[in-house]
Structure 1
Amino acid sequence: MAEITRWPFCEPPEARLTALQRPPVWRGVLIASLMVLAIIGFWPSPVDAPIQGQLASRLKFLQNHGFPLWVNYSLVEESANVVLFIPLGVTVGLAFPDKRWWQNAAFGTMVSGCI
């Protein structure tokens, strides 16, 4: 008699999770991203120092050609800081899916305060 094979949809749902859906994988990604944030945050000089002059001159060019004056270097720097933490927030949510949203937000606030 032939052996009956199991179809993939007969497996329990946790067996069908891909590696990217497993919190331990995301916890490893979280640790790696925290290390990158620590390197960026505690670097002895600003990490954008090599391109700061180029960025300022390009922003001045854009302002001379119609961009509003409030689009300046400080806006770009502050926006970059916000964008830097978006992947952290997503990673924390995937690494700790059983936590409430405010617990994950508190973690992000704590990390941001440390830097």
Structure 2
Amino acid sequence: MPSPEDRSTGASARHLAAVGVIAAVIAVLVVGWWPAPVDAPVRGELEDVLRGARDAGVPAAVANYSVVEALANVALFVPVGAMLAAAVRPARWWIAPVLGLAVSGVVELGQLVGRPARIATGADLAANLCGALLGALLVVVVRAGQTVRRRRARSAAPRGPR
């Protein structure tokens, strides 16, 4: 059972994470609702790098724009999932990928309705969900490690006379 100090620290960390959630969601909305794809200014250079990678022997199935785009979507949502998971009690970590998917749905819907230069896809939803899930799982792993360390420290602490 957590001590009152642990509960207080956990609540403070969750409040700080809630601020992080707001920042991460705002960043995702800005990127997702930008009028043109955010990589448009460097698309040519990116294609050159990918072409060079293929010329160097990297398989085309790996060194292509679709893979880079999917990985960028995953990476964009890792902080969203991590901040959401950190903002809730540990037992409710699963809420993070669910809410991450909801944020992704809002982004994709906004692209579909209001951004003709952007393409809303189910693949983006899936990649964003994967990112939110990865972020949430990172928090689960970190919290589990913290719990183990706390328990070891308590069990190693000297005990008074019985």
- Determine if the TM-score, normalized by the shorter chain, exceeds 0.5: yes
Task: State the alpha-carbon separation in 2 of the partners of residues 26 and 56 from structure 1.
Answer: 37
CA RMSD in angstroms, aligned pairs only: 2.2
Match of 1:90 in 2: 82
Q: Bigger relative contact order, structure 1 or 2, given CA contacts below 8 A and separation 6+?
A: 1
Match of 2:44 in 1: 53
Task: State the alpha-carbon separation in 2 of the partners of residues 95 and 79 from structure 1.
Answer: 25
Q: Of the two, which has the highest radius of gyration?
A: 1
**Equivalent pairs, count:** 104
The secondary structure found in structure 2 opposite 1:22 is helix
Match of 1:17 in 2: 9
2:35 equivalent to 1:44 = yes
1:102 to 94, 104, 119: 94
**Relative to structure 1, is the Cα distance of residues 109 and 16 closer, same or farther in structure 2, using a 3 angstrom cutoff?**
closer
2:18 equivalent to 1:34 = no
- Runs (4+) of structure 1 exceeding 4 A deviation are none
For structure 1, the 5+ residue unaligned runs are 1-10
**TM-score calculated relative to the size of structure 1:** 0.79
For structure 2, the 5+ residue unaligned runs are 108-162
Between 104-113 and 60-69, the greater mean CA deviation after superposition: 104-113
**Relative to structure 1, is the Cα distance of residues 99 and 41 closer, same or farther in structure 2, using a 3 angstrom cutoff?**
farther
